[in-house]
Amino acid sequence: MLVNLHSYILLILWTEMAQLGGHEEKEKTTALKDLLSRIDLDELMKKDEPPLDFPRTLEDFEYAFNEKGQLRHIKTGDPFVFNYREDLHRWNQKRYEALGEIITQYVYELLEKECNMTKEILPVDALLEEPKSFIFLSKEALNNPDKLLVLIQGSGVVRAGQWARRLIINEDLDSGTQIPFIRRAVEEGYGVIVLNPNENFIEVEKPKKQTQPSPDSSDEPAEKRERKDEKETKKRRDFYEKYRNPQKEKETEQIPIRENSSPDEHAIYVWDNFIAKSAARNIFFVAHSYGGQSFVELMIQREVEVKNRVCAVALTDSVHNVWHQEAGKSILEWMQEHCCNWVSSAEPLDTPVETMLPDCPRVSAGTERHELTSWKSFHSIFKFFSAALEAQSSDAKPTTTVTTRSSNRIKHEEI
């Protein structure tokens, strides 16, 4: 009914304006004023979308995670339903986003309560009133003398501890969060740092502009009354636009977080203030999607330090571009020996994948879904790390990936 109503109104407008194509501008304005006056906007507004007022907890949403980490409706046991209200895509999207914000806080709680991680505020010397972000550190992460694992997610709405919000909501916590990586890393003796590269600013509502009402006078000159009529017409037109999109978002402005105003800047800041100061002899990275670009940028900016400290890097469907980012030959050679990119592919897991870029070997993640590449390559990544550590201690190349690396390197040299 709502769609038909919208279509009907727009059809009237289009028809009327088409008929006015050959008339003067003033006649168009008069016709539009007449058309708008015949539409009962107050009545139409009643038929519009519900308020954008959504629950603030999972319980109020009537959802919970079951023993398998799947989000299910408390009463029906059904998975999350996006199209909760038919023909109200915008409202459904806003509802989904509201749930996503709750999921973010839920994952933060899991990191602290179940993974025993602590928040570290950024910037480290933040003033009380300035915008802040944070990262998560496992117990004794900076004091672990052996191994340190750094996790970097991709861009977008995902925050610390998440690979993909969509997976958390529609699949399960294991595939969508970094928690399995954290738990296994801790079991294998790693310290862990979870970055938060997309928390770059805070949003504050802009103050409303104060407008002074003009005095009403019946003795106004004709020219002034005409200008007033034009303003009234514009007001009604704006009101009609508000009907078409009735609940406009509040106007906000973004205040950047000092030295963390972009994912790349955040990665460099965390390196300088945490990772580089850690006691670990061997540092490992898992970087998904845009996180791979942030790692390459970190290498460019801190090349010597990274080469001296980082043992191996697992990229998952990384979107880095060594040409665009102007990575030098020495960086490309290092990446060939120390990085591997598990990319989305229909090939079985760990199958070498052809590439024209001379950066690092690429193998299949065993899935064609971009957001699933981290989870699908989970076991292979830790085998890759173990092999890299063994190779380093024995001054030889990792046995599990030597074939992939050698074959890719030969192909690059032939090209």
Question: Tens digit of pLDDT for each residue in 350-407?
Answer: 999 998 777 899 999 999 999 999 999 999 999 999 999 999 887 644 444 433 433 3
pLDDT of 193 over the 80 cut? yes
User: In the chain, what are the domains?
Assistant: 1-39+227-259 (no CATH), 49-106 (no CATH), 115-200+260-414 (3.40.50.1820)
Structure tokens given for 222:
């004709």
Active site residue: 278, 289, 345, 364, which one?
289
Query: What per-residue confidence (pLDDT) applies to 407?
Result: 35
What residues contact residue 100 under an 8 Å CB cut-off, 6+ apart?
Answer: 157, 165, 169
Phi first, then psi, for residue 206 (nearest 5°) are: -70, 140
Confidence (pTM): 0.76
What SS3 class is residue 165? helix
Q: How far apart are CA 186 and CA 191, in angstroms?
A: 6
Query: What per-residue confidence (pLDDT) applies to 356?
Result: 77
pLDDT tens, residue by residue, 309-318: 999 999 999 9
Phi first, then psi, for residue 357 (nearest 5°) are: -95, 135
Buried b (16+ CB within 10 A) or exposed e, 207-218: eeeeeeeeeeee
pLDDT tens, residue by residue, 138-182: 999 999 999 999 999 999 999 999 999 999 999 999 999 999 999
Query: What per-residue confidence (pLDDT) applies to 26?
Result: 62
- The residue assigned the tokens 């727009």 is 10
Report the phi/psi class of residue 288: left, alpha or beta, with left for phi > 0 and alpha for psi in -120 to 50. Answer: beta
Mean pLDDT comparison of 79-83, 200-204, 256-260, highest-scoring range: 256-260
Q: Is 278 a catalytic residue?
A: no
Q: How far apart are CA 8 and CA 10, in angstroms?
A: 6
Mean residue pLDDT of the chain comes to 83
* 89, amino acid identity: H
| Rounded alpha-carbon distances, angstroms, from residue 19 to 6, 22, 28, 229, 391 | 20, 8, 10, 23, 78
Angle, nearest 10°, between helix axes 263-270 and 290-301? 50
pLDDT tens, residue by residue, 316-345: 999 998 878 888 899 999 999 999 999 999
pLDDT tens, residue by residue, 237-276: 555 444 444 555 677 889 999 999 999 999 999 999 999 9
Q: How far apart are CA 250 and CA 246, in angstroms?
A: 12
Closest CA to 284 of 387, 180, 177, 134: 387
What residues contact residue 40 under an 8 Å CB cut-off, 6+ apart?
Answer: none
| Rounded alpha-carbon distances, angstroms, from residue 7 to 2, 39, 123, 367 | 9, 14, 51, 41
Closest CA to 333 of 295, 302, 361, 364: 361
Query: What per-residue confidence (pLDDT) applies to 1?
Result: 44
Query: What per-residue confidence (pLDDT) applies to 46?
Result: 42
Q: Please list the helix, strand and coil fractions of the chain in percent, rounded to the nearest 5, in that order.
A: 45, 15, 40
pLDDT mean over 178-187: 98
Q: How far apart are CA 359 and CA 324, in angstroms?
A: 12
